[in-house]
Structure 1
Amino acid sequence: MKIPTLSVMFARMPVTASMLAAVMMVIMPHLSQAAVFNPQTVTLDNGMQVVLVENHRAPVVTQMVWYKVGSADEQTGISGIAHFLEHLMFKGTNDIAPGDFSKIVARNGGNDNAFTTWDYTGYFQNIARDRLDLVMKMEADRMTNLQLSDDVVLPERDVIIEERRSRIDNNPGALLGEQMRAALYMAHPYGRSIIGWMNEMEQLSTKDALDFYHEWYAPNNAILVVAGDITMDELLPMAKKYYGVIPRGDVSTRHRVKEPVQHAPRKVTMRDPRVGQASMSRYYLAPSYNSENAADAAPLELLSEIIGSGTTSRFFKALVVDQSIASSVGTFYDPVAVDLASFGLYAVPRGDGELADLEKAVDDQIAKLKTDGVTEDELDRAKQKLLDSAVFARDSLSAGARVLGQSLAVGLTVDQVESWPDRISAVTVDQVNEAAKHVFNDKQSVTGWLMPPEGGPVSGSGPAIPLDSGGGVH
């Protein structure tokens, strides 16, 4: 689980392609049964999973509640309702007035926020250890006692509509990325915009929000992850007191449409006066840790590191340094999902270079990779880089909570998180090369070109690179 794939941005505003810092502990390749966060976990009688990552360096804690529902679980015609409800969760209960939740957290020296992706919705607070009881009581209260009316819902609908305008509609890179995902997934709801399609957002109602809330928000569909200066002996009674008394809910089962076999590559071309520098990108369907061919996930994490991570990567050396045809190039891959994932790449031409020439150069590098493969030396360096990049994991208060919460919310296990270093260390050159041949399948791809208008960019416009919005909206 290379951590650039475990994306969570902590602000209730749409952000695309955001990535966390690396948060895995250093484990040398010869060690076996490696551990990462050494979490403790208990399941309450009502089905809510409680996970603790102890960190006693400072008297502070992070509380995160992850609901196993996201935009891919929405019914057709109400896209954006998962993200809309995330906003509305701050609109109050019988005990907390609308808008007071965050104010109370701030008055007690903490901060809080929330986020929505295709697969999960999360809420968190960072707070002093002796205030955990307070924020846990508040979080449990809104899990079951949210009060909504048109007076608070309809103005907030205007807020999310404005967010879409400012973060998506006014961002050509975000717009193209959204269109590319819609083309990549022909049937699966991962092709749906997380924030929602504008025409459907404008019709979202109080009833839609309450129906979604009652359908999905329940302790047996949630995970409590706490990290910081507390022990399980202290945490568990508190969790039982506030969350354990909430009855199990009649939660819906996720019904995801299976993506059909794809037979042809797709291309999306967009010109926009706000684009100052042309760019290209491409998404390929790829396996996740939960999908068919999940054995390719760890090799693909290493492949992405080898060919597209930073200035020492293979593609950067070839296209930027040696050929001078690109000014930047990179790859991205997120295998932590309920269903399929995507493997992406992007490139920006140098100067006034043509996108067609750049795309051909990228394709040549992919063909060379599929023919010649990666080397043992490249793989060893990628492994060490991934494992070494995790050295700061335990220095971060919330890193363990984020990684464990996201992984558990998509159906992975604590053991799968903890064994990540071993899986990375065990990957062979042959496995990486086979994974590369599988993923670089043009029939399962979408290529995007983002360009200025025919007459050239308007004054003040800049580069815009469409990236996969796996970071979700907030």
Structure 2
Amino acid sequence: MLDNGMQVVVVTNQRVPVITHMVWYKVGAADEETGKGGIAHFLEHLMFKATDELKPGEFSRIVARNGGRDNAFTSWDYTAYFQNVAADRLELVMRMEADRMANLRLTDETVLPERDVVLEERRQRTENEPGDKLSELVQASMFVHHPYGTPIIGWANEIAKLTRDDANQFYHTWYAPNNAVLVVAGDVTVEQVRPLAEKYFGPIAPRPVPARIRVEEPPFEAERRVILRDAEVRQPSLRRLYHAPSYNRGETVHAYPLQVLSEIVGGGATSRLYRSLVVEQRLATSAGTGYSPDAFDTSVFGAYVSPNAGVDMDKLEAALVEQLEKVVRDGVTAEEVATAKTRLEREAIFARDSLRGPAMSFGVALATGRTVEDVEAWPERIASVTVEQVNAAARAVLGQTNPVTGLLLPAPVRQAAAQPDAQPDAQPPGTGAGAAPSRSNDSGVIR
């Protein structure tokens, strides 16, 4: 750790003379002020504008001229910036990254056009993509009070009102060295990184950073359904989501067993859901589960399935629920647990072979309140998971009676209204049996 509070992690991998250089800030969309949704992601865009040393866009142009690649990403819990470059370009990218940590210069001429870029990004990636639109609506139903219910990119009406002052305030509040983590992975050593980090990041003064105090999601006993019908849907889908603990919040004792459970129930072509719904019953083209315990607050355990052509969605949902209830009722076997743990451990080994994999693991952990030791202990903690622990986690999460179900369906085919014979007692237009159905894009119906 530097004297100004910035954490530094070095992961040496000397297979090729390349490094991944990442700076993680412990702030994300869930830390935004109410009414300023999207400001974390907006600032991510603006960090590529001017500094005291660089013109707008020059950061990325310099990286590219030196044979590298750079980008950034925002989550609910963190924002990260990275460059993949030759090992001998480490000092270059570290100098530029430190420069924009301390010396970002924003003007209306750069901020306002970029706001339009973000709005267009939202239109393309969410509003014009039915699957992403449903994900947004389901997330909002999962987290009604907690900020995880607000999309990372923000709601369009709030993005449109963001200003240069909003961006500057967010930048000066959260972008401090004592709220950041530097991760360098690749053909590099601690002895090489330490003097460079002290030279470029060390002089940046620390600042008071607000505590990450977030509201808790209140308990909702009712099951919720979100149905999106859209004319662009070619492949219907179904998802069923449950509130789940993370490493940090909720019944954290279940975090490692839930990873094993997800592998058993929905982790690929040998999982329970795939074998039952795709192979045996031939109801689905795909089926699986998803769970990540990395959130700063609580997480979500989800099951996902897409139907074969002509399969009734009610029948598919009933089959999915039957499999999930079977896990709760009958539990999993020792053989399933042993096989799942082996697969997870192998995946971790493969991930460690890459430059980006370890950098991501350490960055996410440190940005969400965990430690280097937690990351290094993951294989042993997974290996120690027992059948009893997996079954207890299944009862605690899949046994909940208030899941959120999301359905993505094609819009009904619009029919031409029937033309009745002209008669004195003819029904008014739109009230008879031949009336046209409702509009083709019935989004956000919550039952």
Q: TM-score, normalised by structure 1?
A: 0.86
How far does the alpha carbon of each residue in 1:424-467 deviate from its partner, in whole angstroms, 9 at most, with x for none? 110010110110011114444210111001128xxxxxxxxxxx
How far does the alpha carbon of each residue in 1:251-307 deviate from its partner, in whole angstroms, 9 at most, with x for none? 111121011122111000110000012211111110000012111011110111001
Q: Which residue of 2 aligns with 1:163?
A: 121
Q: Which residue of 1 aligns with 2:234?
A: 276
Q: Is the 8 A contact 1:60 1:127 kept in 2?
A: yes
Whether 1:378 aligns to 2:333 is no
Q: Which residue of 2 aligns with 1:181?
A: 139
Q: Which aligned pairs between 1:116-265 and structure 2 lie closer than 5 A?
A: 116-265=74-223
Q: Any idea what SS the aligned residue of 1:277 has?
A: coil
Q: Is the 8 A contact 1:329 1:346 kept in 2?
A: yes
Q: Which aligned pairs between 1:21-420 and structure 2 lie closer than 5 A?
A: 43-420=1-378
Q: Distance in 1 between matches of 2:14 and 2:279?
A: 46
Q: What amino acid is aligned across from residue 307 of structure 1 in structure 2?
A: V
Q: Any idea what SS the aligned residue of 1:276 has?
A: coil
Report deviation, 1:222: 0.1
Q: Mind listing any 5+ residue stretches in structure 2 that lack a counterpart?
A: 415-447
Q: Is the 8 A contact 2:325 2:399 kept in 1?
A: no
Report deviation, 1:57: 1.5
Q: Distance in 2 between matches of 1:364 and 1:211?
A: 50
Q: Which residue of 1 aligns with 2:382?
A: 424
Among 449, 459, 462, the alignment partner of 2:407 is 449
Q: What amino acid is aligned across from residue 436 of structure 1 in structure 2?
A: A
Q: Is the 8 A contact 1:265 1:442 kept in 2?
A: no
Q: Distance in 1 between matches of 2:86 and 2:279?
A: 49
Q: Distance in 1 between matches of 2:298 and 2:99?
A: 34
Q: What amino acid is aligned across from residue 317 of structure 2 in structure 1?
A: E
Q: Which residue of 1 aligns with 2:398?
A: 440
Total equivalences in the alignment: 415
Q: CA RMSD in A?
A: 1.2
Distance 1:210 1:233, change over 3 A: same
How far does the alpha carbon of each residue in 1:393-446 deviate from its partner, in whole angstroms, 9 at most, with x for none? 343122111110011100111111101011111001011011001111444421
Q: Any idea what SS the aligned residue of 1:396 has?
A: coil
How far does the alpha carbon of each residue in 1:21-74 deviate from its partner, in whole angstroms, 9 at most, with x for none? xxxxxxxxxxxxxxxxxxxxxx11100001000111222211100000000000
Q: Distance in 1 between matches of 2:321 and 2:116?
A: 44
Bigger Cα displacement from structure 2, 443-452 vs 424-433: 443-452
Q: Distance in 1 between matches of 2:371 and 2:180?
A: 14
How far does the alpha carbon of each residue in 1:195-221 deviate from its partner, in whole angstroms, 9 at most, with x for none? 000000111100000000000000000
Q: Distance in 1 between matches of 2:59 and 2:346?
A: 39
Q: Distance in 2 between matches of 1:330 and 1:54?
A: 35
Q: Is the 8 A contact 2:236 2:409 kept in 1?
A: yes
Q: Any idea what SS the aligned residue of 2:383 has?
A: helix
How far does the alpha carbon of each residue in 1:362-394 deviate from its partner, in whole angstroms, 9 at most, with x for none? 111111111111001111110111111223234
Q: Distance in 2 between matches of 1:304 and 1:186?
A: 25
Q: Is the 8 A contact 1:83 1:116 kept in 2?
A: yes
Q: Is the 8 A contact 1:264 1:442 kept in 2?
A: no
Q: Which residue of 2 aligns with 1:32?
A: none
Q: Is the 8 A contact 1:262 1:443 kept in 2?
A: no
